[in-house]
Amino acid sequence: MSNRPQSGPRRELLARLAAWITGYPLDHVIRVAVDGPDCAGKSTLADELAPFVARTGREAIRISLDGFHTPREERYARGPLDPEGYYRDSFDLEAVVRNVLAPLGADGSQAYRSAAFDAEADRPASQPVRMATAGAVLLFDGVFLSRPELRPYWECSIFVDANESEILARALRRDAARFGSEEAVRERYARRYLPANRLYLRDAEPLHAADVVIENSDPRNPLVTRVSEAGRPVLHAASR
């Protein structure tokens, strides 16, 4: 989880998001998508939101799409820098539904697994079955979460956005060691990750599908830029 100090505007937004999410009158898990491009800050937001949800008395379940990659051969079948391959081939959406979203739904068993595949080891993950409590909140972060295959399963969705220059700056700080050099990071984002996000924006229109859109280029002062009718009880568009 993030250890970054939370400023007043950010704390206020986290509190409002928690109140909005936990206001859903459901007796099964409230499944929340925390969507957005790589390095926009979605994982950090979900991590920081979890304790605010827990303070309301609800269990907060944190799961990431990173635990549901496809095997290396499949996700790089179109080439290691191909953007369509990243968008269409990198994640096992059937495993996400089977292990998480369907069992945590209204007619589900409430028994779930938090991962199905270890991308680093390139092999299936061995994860224990866990039981969600009634009224728990699933905070599920990842890219491409509003695509048609997953959209019906979310009770609510948050899209965390940032401008591309800020995304690249964050990627250079985070991923240089992982990919071997800053130039390798620049190439991967220029040719694979950022074009894949543009493809997703055109293909699935997540900015219109999300209940809340947050402009997170300045994490200390996140800006809510869009709120759907589902998000209006506690959130206000264009408020800091």
Give, in words, the CATH class of 8-231. Answer: alpha beta
pLDDT of residue 25: 79
pLDDT of residue 232: 67
The pTM of this model reads 0.93
CA neighbor of 106 nearest in space, from 145, 157, 147, 155: 155
Q: What is the mean pLDDT of each run of 10 residues along the chain (240 residues)?
A: 63 95 87 98 97 95 98 97 98 98 95 97 95 95 97 96 97 94 97 98 96 96 89 51
pLDDT of residue 125: 95
pLDDT of residue 3: 44
pLDDT of residue 237: 40
Judging by beta carbons within 10 Å of its beta carbon (0-12, 13-18, 19+), is residue 101 exposed, middle or buried? Answer: buried
